[in-house]
Amino acid sequence: MLGVTIKGLTKRYGDVAAVKGLDLLVKPGELVALLGPSGCGKTTTLRLVAGFLKPEQGEIWVGEHCLSSPAAVVPPERRRMAMIFQSYALWPHMTVAQNVAYGLRFNGVTKPDRDRRVKDMLRIVQLEGYGSRYPGELSGGQQQRVAVARALVVEPEILLLDEPLSNLDANLREEMRFEIRRLHETFGITTLYVTHDQAEAMVISDRVAVLEKGRVVQIGTALDLFDQPRTRFVAEFIGKTNLIDGTAESPSTVARGALTLRVASADLTPGAPVVVSIRPHQIELAPGEPASASAPRGENVLTGTMLRASYLGDAVDYQVQLEQSDVVLRVTGPTPPRARAGERVALRIAPAACVPLADSA
Partner 1 sequence: MTRMVRSQGLTPRFWRFEAMDRSAPVWVLTAAALGLLILLPLGWLGFMSVSGEGGITLDHYARVFTDLRLQKALWNTVVLAFWSGLAALAIGLPMAWLSARTDLPCKRVIKSLVMASFVTPPFLGAFAWVMLAGPNAGYLNKLYRSLTGAEGALVNIFTMPGLVFVVALYTFPYVYIMIVNTLELIASDLEEAASILGANHLWVALGITLPMVLPAILSGFILAVLQALALFGSPAILALPAGFHTITTQIWALFQYPPRVEMAAAFSVPLLLATALLLLVQKRLLGRRGYAAVGGKGQARRPIPLGFWRYPALLGCLAVLACAVFLPYGILAKAGFSRAWAQPFTWDNFTLANWSFTFLYSSTQAAIVNTLELGILTACVGAGLATLLAYIINRKLIVGHQLLAFLVLAPVVIPGVVLAVALFIAYTRPPFLLYGTLWILFVAYLTKEMPVGYSQSDATFRGIQPELEEAGRILGAGRLRVLYEITAPLARSGIIATWCFIFIGVIRELSASIILFTPNTKVISVVIFDLKEEGQFGAIAVLGLFMLVMTFATVVLMQTLLGRDVLGSRQSGG
Residue 92 vs 342, nearer CB to partner 1: 92
Q: Does 66 bind partner 1 (CB under 8 A)?
A: yes
Q: Is 73 in the site for partner 1 (CB under 8 A)?
A: yes
Residue 255 sits in the site that holds partner 1 (CB under 8 A): no
Q: Which stretch binds partner 1 (CB under 8 A): 84-92, 137-145, 241-249, 266-274?
A: 84-92
- Candidate ranges 58-66, 251-259, 309-317, 330-338; the one touching partner 1 (CB under 8 A): 58-66
Distance CA 290, CA 296 (A): 12
Q: Per CB under 8 A, which region of 86-94, 113-121, 175-183, 330-338 contacts partner 1? A: 86-94
Over the window 32 to 51, marking each residue x when it contacts partner 1 by CB under 8 A and - when it does not, the resulting string is ------------------xx
What is d(CA 60, CA 74) in angstroms, rounded to the nearest whole number?
Answer: 10
For position 18 contacting partner 1 by CB under 8 A, the verdict is no
User: What is the smallest separation between the CB atom of 58 and partner 1, expressed in angstroms?
Assistant: 15
Q: Give 137's strand partners.
A: none
One of 64, 185, 314, 326 touching partner 1 (CB under 8 A): 64
Conformational region of residue 302, where left means phi above 0, alpha means psi within -120 to 50, and beta covers everything else: beta
The answer to whether 111 contacts partner 1 (rule: CB under 8 A) is: no
List of residues 6+ apart from 108 with CB closer than 8 A: none
Yes or no: say if 72 and 65 are a contact pair by the CB < 8 Å rule: no
- Residue 8 found at the interface with partner 1 (CB under 8 A): no
DSSP code for 302: E
Binding positions for partner 1, 217-246, rule CB under 8 A: none
With vertex at residue 321, the alpha carbon angle to CA 319 and CA 326, rounded to the nearest 5 degrees, is 130
- 14 near partner 1, rule: CB under 8 A: no
C-alpha span between 24 and 50 (Å, rounded): 15
Report the 10 Å Cβ neighbour count for 53: 18
- The only residue of 1, 16, 72, 295 in contact with partner 1, by rule CB under 8 A: 72
Residues with Cβ within 8 Å of 57's Cβ and at least 6 positions away in sequence, in order, are 8, 9, 10, 21, 70
The strands making up 57-62's β-sheet, listed across from edge to edge, are 16-26, 4-13, 57-62, 65-68
The reply on whether position 76 binds partner 1 by CB under 8 A is yes
As a whole number of angstroms, the distance between CA 125 and CA 180 comes to: 10
Least distance from C-beta 197 to partner 1, angstroms? 20
Separation between Cα atoms, residue 307 and residue 277, nearest integer Å: 21
Task: State the Cα angle at 153 between 150 and 159, rounded to 5°.
Answer: 75
Question: Contact with partner 1 (CB under 8 A): which of 23, 39, 74, 166?
Answer: 74
Quick one: 82 or 276, whose CB is closer to partner 1? 82
Interface with partner 1 in residues 123-152 (CB under 8 A): 150-151
Q: Strands 253-256, 283-287: parallel, antiparallel or unpaired by DSSP?
A: unpaired
CA-only gyration radius of the chain, Å: 25
- Contact status: 1 vs partner 1 (CB under 8 A): no
Q: Which range of residues in 69-77, 111-119, 202-210, 329-337 is near partner 1 by CB under 8 A?
A: 69-77
Residues of the shown chain interacting with partner 1 in the complex, contacts defined by CB under 8 A: 50-52, 54, 61, 64-67, 71-79, 81-83, 85, 87, 89-93, 102-103, 105-107, 150-151, 154, 160
